[in-house]
Structure 1
């Protein structure tokens, strides 16, 4: 599905569930074998190797295992029906189970109700339960800054967004980016395509090639492993300095050296690490934990110095407005529709 947007135009994108396959469970384990307890992570269907969301969560857990001497296990969910048995297996392993992704929301609610004495942390979703910590990110803040940079860097005045599924965290990325572009370049066109899948890099490459062919020169892939396909596309086209991909969640410069404009960072690893640290210290708290720029949960990064200095100045100005509360980046379609950039000064 592809949508063309300029300023306030908006067309909703359909969401389709991933295909259901068999029900095997993949297990990986790191950390001290004589640890006092085990923490288990349950991936979404993209699994490890997505070079993005699940891998970031795993990095946070692996670091926590090294720092705190706990054992860290990963259960990969190859399909949606694997969520509940994987979460249940996590409960049987130790006191804390980490669920990675919005798509595990219902499964976490179900298993948490069945095991009220166990602790759960879910990344990117909110589950109301006394034993669930919901780690949410204000992706819209970092995405807004990314939109500012992209809106000023574009040479064709056309930008592309490639989404996985249009779920709340992806929506926050999308509308934040669109608002940032509009704040500095209201005449820019944004083309949006959804793959309806977070684990299909071939589909991501197909969508990216189509957007580049249509004249977009900077792509924002918010699609997990599917988004890696944008790097394959830009490498194949090989137009250095003319076409760019934005790193999302973490840099993926290694996938297309020289073609990553900048990074819209999301500290999935930080959220996982902090949840484990609380469990270790006996300070685990349920409820919503919201991480934005102020908390170091999200941010704008230019690791390779490809953003011109004058554009970085604009990004920093808008970041200061977000931090002082004078600018609240939109996080929903409804907020985007009424969003206005506050007057300077």
Structure 2
């Protein structure tokens, strides 16, 4: 990429705190920006297109939808008229869904997931008057420059994944842990690389198994892979697989019912409930897609649509981190997480985000 534009408003920090219970909190009226925003938003329409994982994937898409619901509530918008989602059951649905929302005169349309990048770029070029937002990738033109009518939203997933890796490395009793990814891609490699680096930082001798499902919506396949990794001795599995990860929880709960002590580390949102009633969720790497959706929607309704810019949410912006539910995490591990968090934020520690960077990182330990 030849040019990269960045911005971050201080409101993101506040949003990360205020919206920790996004989708369930009935307050947070402060984020609506007062009466001025309510007047502007009375005829504002915002929507999102899910990827194939679906809006109820318990993870990425669901977090985005919770953010959109919260924004709609804060601004007095009516569901299906002022805000809504459109579900994609196949990749071929992306362009028709995006185009349909443009025809319905939605002021801002989110494409949820990097798998939608090419379709967002195509639609944005065909409809320069549309205001679009792409989560998890950067929409560019033929010159590899950010498209002016697309707000690109990215995260430092490797930073949050490093922290849950620290927890896994410290709390594994078998000294073997696993990682299950959805689609093998540059994005999911950030999760994998950061996680492995966190594990190795506190437990250099730990064995790490990795496997990809090549699908974000295949719970049965997720369960099969989880069974394989648990059978190999892993007692903790971190998934970055969307709906496929639901199968990891199923396998862990089945084993827990039979007296086996295994854990799952969730992703994107606090997945503590997904591990109940067997209580198999060790922790989760929270990625504040909900915060990002609210923040970009707020900027747009205020007349400051961040088209052509790349917003990146990391630890410093409270865009990634560990879940608030911490009942299964040891005090020692939590203390170590805070220690590493400070090192990352200060720049003392640079977390790897690719295979090559991880190999170099591991070699330096």
TM, length-normalised to structure 1:
0.86
Instruction: Identify the match of residue 290 of structure 2 among 261, 264, 269.
Output: 269
The one-character-per-residue Cα deviations of 1:27-69 (angstroms, maximum 9, x if unpaired) are xxxxxxx940211101101111111111111000011011123
The alignment yields a C-alpha RMSD, in angstroms, of 1.7
Superposed displacement of residue 255, structure 1: 2.4
Superposed displacement of residue 116, structure 1: 1.0
Superposed displacement of residue 241, structure 1: 7.9
C-alpha change, 1:341 and 1:284, in structure 2 (3 Å) is farther
Of Structure 1 and Structure 2, which has the larger fraction of its residues in helix? 2
Instruction: Identify the match of residue 159 of structure 1 among 174, 177, 182.
Output: 177
Superposed displacement of residue 240, structure 1: 6.2
The one-character-per-residue Cα deviations of 1:89-125 (angstroms, maximum 9, x if unpaired) are 1222212110000000000000001111211111101
Aligned partners of 2:268 and 2:288 also within 8 Å: yes
Superposed displacement of residue 323, structure 1: 1.1
Describe the SS at the equivalent of 2:51.
coil
The residue that corresponds to 1:306 in the other structure is 328
Q: Mean Cα displacement is larger for which, 46-55 or 99-108?
A: 46-55
Superposed displacement of residue 307, structure 1: 1.3
The residue that corresponds to 1:108 in the other structure is 120
Aligned partners of 2:272 and 2:283 also within 8 Å: no
Paired residues in the alignment total: 310
Aligned partners of 1:327 and 1:342 also within 8 Å: no
The residue that corresponds to 2:11 in the other structure is none
1:50-61 equivalent positions in 2, closer than 5 A: 50-61=57-68
The residue that corresponds to 1:3 in the other structure is none
C-alpha change, 1:114 and 1:220, in structure 2 (3 Å) is same
Instruction: Identify the match of residue 75 of structure 2 among 58, 68, 77.
Output: 68
C-alpha change, 1:278 and 1:52, in structure 2 (3 Å) is same
C-alpha change, 1:40 and 1:336, in structure 2 (3 Å) is same
The residue that corresponds to 1:332 in the other structure is 354
Aligned partners of 1:241 and 1:259 also within 8 Å: no
Structure 2 unaligned spans of 5+ = 1-40, 140-145
The residue that corresponds to 1:81 in the other structure is 92
C-alpha change, 1:76 and 1:66, in structure 2 (3 Å) is same
Aligned partners of 1:326 and 1:342 also within 8 Å: no
**1-side partners of 2:97 and 2:152: how far apart?**
18
1:1-345 equivalent positions in 2, closer than 5 A: 35-70=42-77, 71-93=82-104, 94-127=106-139, 128-238=146-256, 242-257=261-276, 258-286=279-307, 287-301=309-323, 303-339=325-361
Runs ≥4 residues deviating over 4 A: 340-343
Q: Mean Cα displacement is larger for which, 233-242 or 89-98?
A: 233-242
The residue that corresponds to 2:36 in the other structure is none
**1-side partners of 2:362 and 2:56: how far apart?**
39
Describe the SS at the equivalent of 1:77.
coil
**2-side partners of 1:321 and 1:253: how far apart?**
27
The one-character-per-residue Cα deviations of 1:280-335 (angstroms, maximum 9, x if unpaired) are 11111121100001101101135142111112111110000011111111112222
**1-side partners of 2:246 and 2:361: how far apart?**
31
Aligned partners of 2:274 and 2:281 also within 8 Å: no
**2-side partners of 1:262 and 1:178: how far apart?**
16
Q: Mean Cα displacement is larger for which, 191-200 or 231-240?
A: 231-240
C-alpha change, 1:66 and 1:48, in structure 2 (3 Å) is same
